[in-house]
Amino acid sequence: MAIADRVTFWTSRMNGENPTSLLANENNEAFTATGAGSPSASGGAWRVSNKVYHVTPTTNEYTLVTCFKYVSAPNDDETIMFLDNGTHSVRVQKTTGGKVKLVGATTATSEDLDPTMAEDIPVPLMLRLTLTSAGVATLYMREIIEDDDGANHYLQVNGTNDSSGTKKIQFGNTNGTIDWNNVYVTKNGAYSPDELALSGFTQDTLIAMGFETVQTLKDSKRVHLKNMVDDSSIVYGFDVSNSMVSRIRPPSIHVFLTNVNSPEFQTLTGSRIVQMFDVEIFITTRGTNYINAYRMGAEIAGDCFDELYKKTGLEANSDSIVSYEMQFNTKMDDDDVVCVHRLVMRYMRRLNMLHR
């Protein structure tokens, strides 16, 4: 799946209110309830003992994010999340030892997630379940893709290939008691936490500008980006300290946002705003001959500028590059063998604020 584009958003957003009567936000589809229970609001959550909620999509790739806490744990094998795209289905079930399992054509079980918060940690469990059109299901836990050791922190199985043709995105429980704090759904794709964020602000900034810039450069067919810079050396610059940058073999490209602001809203209600972004790019090259490192860095920087200008900055009605600055790194020390050129591109983007 690719990073969500600017017209992709969470199509159902429940923040502790009755899922069948969501707050009056634009493009926020309510859920349909089934079951005999009588749920109620409790402490900012929707407390459920015997009720399930669903929306019926017409598409075939989905993302369902839930944030919940067990008040009294459901029985083992109780389904709490379910996706069916008409050809494949997958479910998340509660199992023993504070774990959940992802059940499709095969079953994968999580580590102990402690959703009862037995250690008095006041953070409910967050699960993200996705299903692709090909039937691949992924369950991310606590919005983490990789843990501190670099190991995958998600489960993945193929969905069952026995669907009746009925499409459904569902959450809830028929036994036990669960406080459902938040439930977010999009019918527009199967997105990881790095592709569609829960926060609209984060999506418009870090994901759609930062991560999307990284992906655009990785996908480029221009000669230097394609042949001289390995994809693994094009990264978002969470950490640009010397110790971290030195771990990536040059030539390398670090992308990060340095500034976001909105000089003025475009309407009195603020439903549309213009946002300005400064995207900073460091191009690092190395060579025994500094001239060669300098020239290679300039060529790579030029490919970065041309690719971004053509692919991300020419949509006059919504997305434009309004200025740029290029700083070329001149050798100042006899022992200097590393060249770092710096490119800053300033974007102007018009955003729809009604999907939040």
- 99 plus 16 within the same structural domain: yes
Give, in order, the Cα–Cα distances in Å from 351 to each of 77, 204, 245, 257: 43, 8, 33, 17
Domain boundary among 130, 156, 186: 186
pLDDT in tens, 232-266: 999 999 888 877 777 888 999 999 999 898 877 66
Residue position matching structure tokens 């230097």 = 224
Total domain count, the chain: 2
Report how far residue 253's alpha carbon sits from residue 301's, in angstroms, rounded to the nearest whole number: 9
What CATH number is given to the structural domain containing 280?
Answer: 3.30.2000.10
- Domain C-terminal end among 124, 152, 186: 186
Q: Are residues 92 and 218 in the same domain?
A: no
Mean pLDDT of the chain: 89
Q: How far apart are the first and last CA of the chain?
A: 22
Choice between 223 and 244, residue whose per-residue pLDDT is larger: 223
Residue 54 lies in a domain: yes
pLDDT given for residue 246 in this prediction: 77
Residues 205 and 349 in one domain: yes
Dist. CA 309–CA 159, nearest whole Å: 40
Q: What is the pLDDT at residue 265? A: 66
Q: Is residue 192 part of a domain?
A: no
Above 70 in pLDDT, residue 268? no
Whether the pLDDT of residue 32 is over 60: the answer is: yes
Give me the domain span that covers residue 231: 200-355
Whether residue 302 contacts residue 256, with contact meaning beta carbons closer than 8 Å, is answered with: no
**Residue environment code for 52-88, b if the CB has 16+ CB neighbours within 10 A, otherwise e:** bbbbebeebbbbbbbbbbbeebbeeebbbbbbbbbbb
24: domain CATH number is 2.60.120.200
Q: What is the pLDDT of residues 145-199, one digit of tens each?
A: 887 766 788 999 999 987 677 899 999 999 999 999 999 999 999 999 999 999 9
Higher pLDDT, 106 or 239: 106
Structure tokens at 121: 């940690």
For residue 8, give the nearest of 188, 181, 155 by alpha carbon. 188
Residue-wise pLDDT tens digits, 48-105: 999 999 999 999 999 999 999 999 999 999 999 999 999 999 999 999 888 999 999 9
pLDDT band at 288 (very low <50, low <70, confident <90, very high): confident
User: pTM for the whole thing?
Assistant: 0.88
Is the same domain home to 205 and 107? no
Looking at the structure, do residues 39 and 114 belong to the same domain, yes or no?
Answer: yes
Element (H, E) at 338: strand 338-352
| Residue 251 belongs to some domain of the structure | yes
Phi, psi of 326 (to 5 degrees): -120, 125
CA gap 76, 59 in Å, rounded:
31
Residues in CB range of 31: below 8 A, 6 or more apart: 12, 14, 19, 20, 22, 53, 54, 55, 183
Residues 112, 227 within the same domain: no
| Distance from C-alpha of 80 to C-alpha of 193, rounded to nearest angstrom | 20
